[in-house]
Amino acid sequence: MIKVGEWQTLKMLRSKDFGVYLGEELKDEEAVLLPKKQVPGDLQVGDEINVFIYRDSQDRKIATVNKPKLTAGEIGKLKVVSVAGIGAFMDCGLERDVLLPFKEQTTKVAVGQEYLVYMYVDKSERLCVTMRLYSHLNQNPPYVKNDYFRGTVYEIKDHMGAFVAVDNQYSGLIPKSELYQKLHVGDSVEGRILKVREDGKMDLSIRRPAYLQMNVDGDAIMERLEALNGVLPFTDKASPERIKQEFGMSKNEFKRAVGGLLKEGKIEITDGTIRKK
């Protein structure tokens, strides 16, 4: 059977002015066209050729020797080229762009932007892609706690956090409690692994370990002081919400950084303010 979305080795059955027909056997009733411009000059009846199968603009199965950016069952980044009434179309490296249906989008997509997607064959045997990756990610990661990771944000749920495809193939989540900066679907992120759960899913953090992060946070506080003429109008006793809004830090992280700056003699705390020395 000639399957859409896969590479297959087929035999040349017959030649036409506009190309050649390929099938699994010489008398195969199911045959697909390989357009003339893609036919190797030395291909003869009975010869085998490796081709990728998809559907053309008239919904017919067609073969190509061009390499698509994704095949069915693979995850990767594709770019949006247009948005229509049924969804968005993405460049998959073929002459026909692949559909990302509206119902398969985890956020509103923009033309020219890349998003991580999974390619599948729909009920009508057409190639489509989805941004809903959760069920398609590998649950057997080669990582342990405190390992470094890189990945792509593929979905954000306010009550849970940011879902990340680690290495674009393993399941991870940056919990809401770890989200101290604004992230968007499609963002590339890196950080450390907080926990690998029994089911293989990972909890992630995009902040460094405390002893490293303290210096980074301290630098951020000093930069803000410079911008405010040396006076920050609140201290480490401010509400966690205000600290998060102003600096993207937890209250504990802010207090730790302020303590480090005090110890270094770079700041002083007076009358509900932090002042640069």
Sorting pLDDT into bands at 50, 70 and 90, what band is 211? Answer: low
| Percent of residues, the chain, with pLDDT higher than 70 | 96
pLDDT number for residue 19: 93
Query: Is the predicted pLDDT of residue 181 greater than 80, yes or no?
Result: no
Sorting pLDDT into bands at 50, 70 and 90, what band is 25? Answer: confident
Pairwise CA distance, residues 6 & 24, whole Å = 14
Per-residue pLDDT tens digits for 129-179: 999 999 999 989 999 998 989 999 999 998 999 999 999 999 999 998 888
CATH 2.40.50.140 fits 75-132, yes or no: yes
Query: Is the predicted pLDDT of residue 28 greater than 70, yes or no?
Result: no
Lowest-confidence region among 4-8, 52-56, 228-232: 228-232
Per-residue pLDDT tens digits for 46-95: 899 999 999 988 889 999 999 999 999 999 999 999 999 899 999 999 99
pLDDT number for residue 27: 60
Phi, then psi, of 21 in degrees rounded to 5: -100, 135
- The reply to whether 137-205 and 210-276 are identical in fold is no
- Cα Dmax for the chain: 91
DSSP annotation string for 34-71: EEGGGS-TT--TT-EEEEEEEE-TTS-EEEE-SPPS--
Fold of 210-276: Arc Repressor Mutant, subunit A (1.10.10)
Domain 7-64 architecture: Beta Barrel (2.40)
Q: Which helix (H) or strand (E) holds 274?
A: strand 273-276
Domain 137-205 architecture: Beta Barrel (2.40)
pLDDT number for residue 210: 58
Pairwise CA distance, residues 206 & 191, whole Å = 4
